[in-house]
Structure 1
Amino acid sequence: MSTSTRWKKRPEGSTWGDFGPDDQLGRLNLLTPEKVKQGVAEVKEGLAFGLSLPLDYPGGAKLNPRRKPPDLRPTDLSGDPFMNMPLRRFDKRNTDVVCDDQVNITLQYSTQWDTFAHVGSWFDADGDGEPEKVYYNGFRAHEDVLGPGDLKLASCGCGEGGSYALKLGVETFAVKAIQGRGVLVNLHAHIGNTRERVGYEQLMRILDADKVAVEKGDMLLFYTGFADVILSMNKGPDMKVLNNACATLDGRDEKLLQWVTDSGVAALIADNYAVEAYPARDTEGDAERAALPLHEHCLFKLGVPLGELWFLTDLATWLRAHNRSRFLLTAPPLRLPGAVGSPVTAVATV
């Protein structure tokens, strides 16, 4: 563990400092050249599977009222929309007809990566008895992760109402160029579309039954069928159905969280809304706890990115038909400096 000027103590069981005092990649550091070669070695057929939903799914803003579908529209020139624009307008000799568009997009609306700046925690990193708002490896709210009113925003070219992650932004994942060996667990084959919180014991039974081996540095994916249900709703999500649909991990299961730690996985990915059950199981008493315990454990403590709302159906079907669970996964996010999440157009190659 490397010492850091940002913190005097780290959360119990965390990886803070393990990859260096200023590390921003967490267990993505385990995606070494050797791990990439392990992923490449799984390519037997040369078949590629796209793992993203259309970016205008799930549709509307019912899954999360803060997250809106993309607003796609043409760019304009002098007030004229640049769509089917004949360039002979500018020179009668020109034969070109041009379309040029732009989008206002919520970065975590559809298939996405969560960065370590997405979820932090109140934690006494200074050891002075008073908790602070901190993120992975002790990076600080209002100093390293900026929001409206923070003084440093101006230096990022942002207005007072803007936001910018000076540290832990999604561009660090993009520069890493996330690639390595993916391992898929087919929860849907065992549970179907029934809403069920999967804890450690049940997950171990499923891994044993399907002979799925998970090793340090693997990226672990869970196919639940949730994205299939979303697609069937044709951008009109029915929350009564979705709130009771498909398997999800039980973030309150301490044994499951410890397994995530011990397994050494580099990322957790699912085709559902949050990887873990949300809302999480309630707890008794007044003791403080995370509303999103798996998010806190992975993003805040371990430095394990979370992928949500991926489309895994075709890949899962092919893998099960061929008695396989491993593949090459390539999944870099947008290289958008300062963002705390990103769409991802991931590809699995088998």
Structure 2
Amino acid sequence: MTQPRWAQRPQGSTWGDFGPDDQLGRLNLITAEKTRQGAAEVQEGLRFCLSLPLDYPGGNGLNPRRFPPVLKPTRRGEGVSFNVQIPGHSDVVCDDLAILHLQYSTQWDGLCHIGSLFDVDGNGTAQRVYYNGFRADDDLVVDGSGAEATSHADKLGIENMAAHGVQGRGVLIDLRHHFGDAFRHVSYDDLMRVIEADQVEVETGDMVCLHTGFADVVLGMNREPDNDALHQSCCVLDGRDNRLLNWITDSGLATLIADNYAVEAYPAKPGAGDCCAALPLHEHCLFKLGVHLGELWQLTPLAHWLREHGRSRFLLTAPPLRLPGAVGSPLTPIATV
């Protein structure tokens, strides 16, 4: 009999609730019934692409470790396979490759994107662990060092999300309509006022989308972003608001998505010393609950249509790349109304 992976779990977490080896988290709540509920929201058959062009925002002002994609032709002998006529035939061929930072633009955060130091063994020693007790170095591995290093999430990789299929009912909360484009930490009270004013209902297994307008700000900069403006525009959730975190738990939402950089404020408001997470909402969602986070989606056209038609729900189809071992992924989500 194998030893349990953890002896104790974080307070308020879902570890073990979906099984001792679960790697999906609250994606388990996107059931066949939730997909039917999403399909039932399709009345017009109109589709909205919710992805930014993947070379936005431009530069690396949002995150110095992430860069725009690079497209290159594949090699063909001593030359390149681009605008090449196949000898003796009429075919003209282009073939290319992409160098992608997987969380540069419109993206999903995988459950192994953020872990935490936690005493999983109950022996007084905190260890680097991720959702459901999967461990650094054992389950998430780096080989080599520096520019030659390779990495692989043997557990919690984004391919689990892709294989499950991400299709169900989306629910949009329009923060921009109520608060505009000024920078604002959105509290639990703020969120509840918007939900009540717009008569939004969030039920177990729904995929919640927060419209802040940040993606429009990014698009308006045309790949030459003003870094100060990027960090001082639009709404962000206050990850230090415990009532807000409790609402995420109690609402039963399956995923949490925003059109801004990190869903929550980064950097977060000051916490209580070194014990606190730099990204408290990420820790709560990815590490404790198993809630995938979507970032930098383009929600404005959808938000305008929904408001004009007195709706907040739609069918959302949003699978990541089925890339084994990756901790995040770009995607092209589609909303259908």
TM-score class normalised by the smaller sequence:
over 0.9
Q: Structure 1's 225 and 263: CA in aligned 2 closer, same or farther, altered over 3 A?
A: same
Structure 2 Cα separation of the partners of residues 311 and 117 of structure 1? 24
Establish whether residue 28 from structure 1 lines up as the match of residue 27 from structure 2: yes
Q: Which residue of 2 aligns with 1:321?
A: 308
Structure 2 Cα separation of the partners of residues 138 and 11 of structure 1? 10
Q: Which residue of 1 aligns with 2:165?
A: 177
Structure 2 Cα separation of the partners of residues 307 and 258 of structure 1? 19
Structure 1 Cα separation of the partners of residues 160 and 39 of structure 2? 23
Deviates more, 1:289-298 or 1:71-80: 71-80
Cα displacement string for residues 48-78 of structure 1 (whole angstroms, at most 9, x for unaligned residues): 1000000000001111110010010110111
What is the DSSP-based 3-state SS (H/G/I as helix, E as strand, rest coil) of the residue aligned with 2:82? Answer: coil
Structure 1 Cα separation of the partners of residues 143 and 244 of structure 2? 36
What is the DSSP-based 3-state SS (H/G/I as helix, E as strand, rest coil) of the residue aligned with 1:147? Answer: strand
Q: Which amino acid aligns with 2:105?
A: S
Matches within 5 A, 1:265-344: 265-284=253-272, 286=273, 288-344=275-331
Cα displacement string for residues 105-141 of structure 1 (whole angstroms, at most 9, x for unaligned residues): 1000000000011000000000000000000000000
Structure 2 Cα separation of the partners of residues 323 and 146 of structure 1? 48
Structure 2 Cα separation of the partners of residues 190 and 184 of structure 1? 13
Q: Which residue of 2 aligns with 1:153?
A: none
Structure 1 Cα separation of the partners of residues 94 and 152 of structure 2? 31
Establish whether residue 110 from structure 1 lines up as the match of residue 97 from structure 2: no
**What TM-score comes out, normalization by structure 1 length?**
0.94
Q: Which residue of 1 aligns with 2:131?
A: 136
Establish whether residue 48 from structure 1 lines up as the match of residue 47 from structure 2: yes
**What TM-score comes out, normalization by structure 2 length?**
0.97
Structure 2 Cα separation of the partners of residues 222 and 176 of structure 1? 23
Q: Which of 174, 186, 196 matches 1:186?
A: 174
Q: Which residue of 1 aligns with 2:221?
A: 233
* CA shift for structure 1 position 146: 0.9
Q: Which residue of 1 aligns with 2:7?
A: 8
Cα displacement string for residues 83-119 of structure 1 (whole angstroms, at most 9, x for unaligned residues): 100002xxx2x00001111010100000000001100
Q: Percent identity?
A: 62
* CA shift for structure 1 position 283: 2.3
What is the DSSP-based 3-state SS (H/G/I as helix, E as strand, rest coil) of the residue aligned with 2:228? Answer: helix
Matches within 5 A, 1:232-251: 232-251=220-239
Matches within 5 A, 1:115-130: 115-130=110-125
Q: Which amino acid aligns with 1:349?
A: T
What is the DSSP-based 3-state SS (H/G/I as helix, E as strand, rest coil) of the residue aligned with 1:241? Answer: helix
Q: Which residue of 2 aligns with 1:59?
A: 58
Establish whether residue 78 from structure 1 lines up as the match of residue 77 from structure 2: yes
Deviates more, 1:339-348 or 1:141-150: 141-150
Q: Which of 151, 156, 162 matches 2:150?
A: 162
Structure 2 Cα separation of the partners of residues 105 and 63 of structure 1? 16
After TM superposition, which residue ranges in structure 1, 4 or more long, deviate above 2 angstroms? none
Q: Which amino acid aligns with 1:308?
A: E
Q: Which residue of 2 aligns with 1:154?
A: none
Structure 2 Cα separation of the partners of residues 4 and 21 of structure 1? 11
Q: Is the 8 A contact 1:121 1:133 kept in 2?
A: yes
What is the DSSP-based 3-state SS (H/G/I as helix, E as strand, rest coil) of the residue aligned with 2:305? Answer: helix
Q: Which residue of 2 aligns with 1:96?
A: 91
Q: Which of 187, 202, 219 matches 1:199?
A: 187
Q: Is the 8 A contact 1:299 1:306 kept in 2?
A: yes
- Structure 1 stretches of 5 or more lacking a match? 151-158
Structure 2 Cα separation of the partners of residues 102 and 293 of structure 1? 36
Structure 1 Cα separation of the partners of residues 298 and 76 of structure 2? 37
Q: Is the 8 A contact 1:269 1:308 kept in 2?
A: yes
What is the DSSP-based 3-state SS (H/G/I as helix, E as strand, rest coil) of the residue aligned with 1:84? Answer: strand
Q: Is the 8 A contact 1:4 1:22 kept in 2?
A: no
Cα displacement string for residues 166-217 of structure 1 (whole angstroms, at most 9, x for unaligned residues): 0000000000110100000000000110100001111001000000000010
Structure 1 Cα separation of the partners of residues 47 and 322 of structure 2? 23
Structure 2 Cα separation of the partners of residues 287 and 306 of structure 1? 24
Q: Is the 8 A contact 1:224 1:272 kept in 2?
A: yes
CA RMSD of aligned residues (A): 1.3
Structure 2 Cα separation of the partners of residues 283 and 133 of structure 1? 20
Q: Which amino acid aligns with 2:12?
A: G
* CA shift for structure 1 position 79: 2.3
Q: Is the 8 A contact 1:16 1:137 kept in 2?
A: yes
Structure 1 Cα separation of the partners of residues 270 and 333 of structure 2? 34
